[in-house]
């Protein structure tokens, strides 16, 4: 419980610093996710109250945008590009392989908490499609074999 209290205090501070901005909901949600890695569902009432919105309005924004998570992410997030160029160059195969290899679907974490899998709709690496991003590192011309190599390299890093 003490850990949740710390989070509530941190979130209250983020909300207080941004609530007077025009269109404050998105900056607040980004601020919380940037700080915690996700937007805990128990924070929705606090955000709604501070912005004079309904809980449904806040939850609707969180669930509408794929970027926002309601659960803690894994230690490393793997983004698979789903934009047209990557799809044309085989990202569907990378997606299927990643899901099978990791044993998870989009917006889930591996059992060991090491990886999260997320779709992204352009990494700006179209000339090297299909692309993925692990953490902040972008990889191009990814094949299923290269995906496995990237995952192995990532796991080997301290």
Task: Tell me the per-residue pLDDT of 65-82, one tens digit each, with 9 for 90 and over.
Answer: 878 989 899 999 999 999
Q: In what order do the strands lie in the sheet with 132-134?
A: 108-109, 115-120, 76-81, 132-134, 137-139
pLDDT at residue 58 is higher than 60: yes
Ranges of each domain in the chain: 2-64, 76-156
Where does the pLDDT of residue 1 fall: very low under 50, low under 70, confident under 90, or very high at 90 and above? very low
Q: What is the spatial distance between Cα 156 and Cα 74, in angstroms, rounded to a whole number?
A: 16
For 8-20, the pLDDT digits (tens) are 889 999 999 999 9
Q: How far apart are CA 93 and CA 129, in angstroms?
A: 12
* Contact by Cβ (8 Å): 69, 119: no
Q: Is residue 5 pLDDT above 70, yes or no?
A: no
Q: What is the mean pLDDT of the chain?
A: 93
Token pair 């990237």: residue: 150
CATH 3.40.50.300 fits 76-156, yes or no: no
**Tens digit of each residue's pLDDT (9 = 90 or more) over 88-144:** 999 999 999 999 999 999 989 999 999 999 999 999 999 999 999 999 999 999 999
Report residue 51's pLDDT band, with 50, 70 and 90 as the boundaries.
very high
Question: Hey, what are 99's tokens?
Answer: 């899901």
pLDDT-derived band at 3, boundaries 50, 70, 90? low
Residue 139 CA to residue 133 CA, distance in Å, equals 6
């Amino acid at each position: 419980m003490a850990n949740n209290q710390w989070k509530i205090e941190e979130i209250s501070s983020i909300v207080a610093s941004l609530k007077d901005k025009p269109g404050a909901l998105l900056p607040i949600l980004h601020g919380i996710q940037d700080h915690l890695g996700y937007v805990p569902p128990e924070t929705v009432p606090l955000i709604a109250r501070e912005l004079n919105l309904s809980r449904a309005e806040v939850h609707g924004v969180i669930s509408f945008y794929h970027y926002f998570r309601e659960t803690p992410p894994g230690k490393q997030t793997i983004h698979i590009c789903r934009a047209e160029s990557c799809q044309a160059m085989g990202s569907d195969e990378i997606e299927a392989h990643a899901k099978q290899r990791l044993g998870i679907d989009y917006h889930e974490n591996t059992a060991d908490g090491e990886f999260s899998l997320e779709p992204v709709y352009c990494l700006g690496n179209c000339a090297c499609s299909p692309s993925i991003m692990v953490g902040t590192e972008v990889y191009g011309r990814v094949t299923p074999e290269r995906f496995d190599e990237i995952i192995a390299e990532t796991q080997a890093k301290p």
